[in-house]
């Protein structure tokens, strides 16, 4: 998955927030992660780029 790294970063940030008692931030990051998953799932692959331009 092309965007997997972004989900992992959000999960890491959420874990950090929970560990340090940032409850509201942790919950917001969970919502953000869910939104990202939803939006990524709705992406349709575009046509391949033509680096040669021709």
For residues 27 and 12, what is the distance between their CA atoms, to the nearest angstrom? 13
Whether the CB-CB separation of 37 and 4 falls below 8 Å is answered with no
Output 6 or 1, whichever has higher pLDDT.
6
CA distances from 9 to 5, 12, 48, 51, 54 (A): 6, 5, 27, 30, 38
- Residues 31, 36, 42: CA angle, nearest 5 degrees: 130
13-51 pLDDT, tens digit per residue, is 999 999 999 999 999 999 999 999 999 999 977 665 555
Q: Which is higher by pLDDT, 31 or 2?
A: 31
pLDDT tens figures, 31-40:
999 999 999 9
- pLDDT at residue 44, rounded to an integer: 78
In this predicted structure, the answer to whether residue 7 has a pLDDT above a threshold of 70 is yes
User: According to the model, what pLDDT value does residue 53 have?
Assistant: 58
């Amino acid at each position: 998955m092309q965007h997997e790294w972004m989900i992992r970063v959000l999960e890491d940030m959420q874990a950090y927030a929970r560990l340090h008692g940032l409850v509201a931030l942790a919950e917001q990051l969970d919502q953000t992660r869910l939104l990202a998953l939803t939006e990524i799932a709705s992406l349709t692959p575009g046509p391949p780029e033509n680096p040669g331009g021709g």
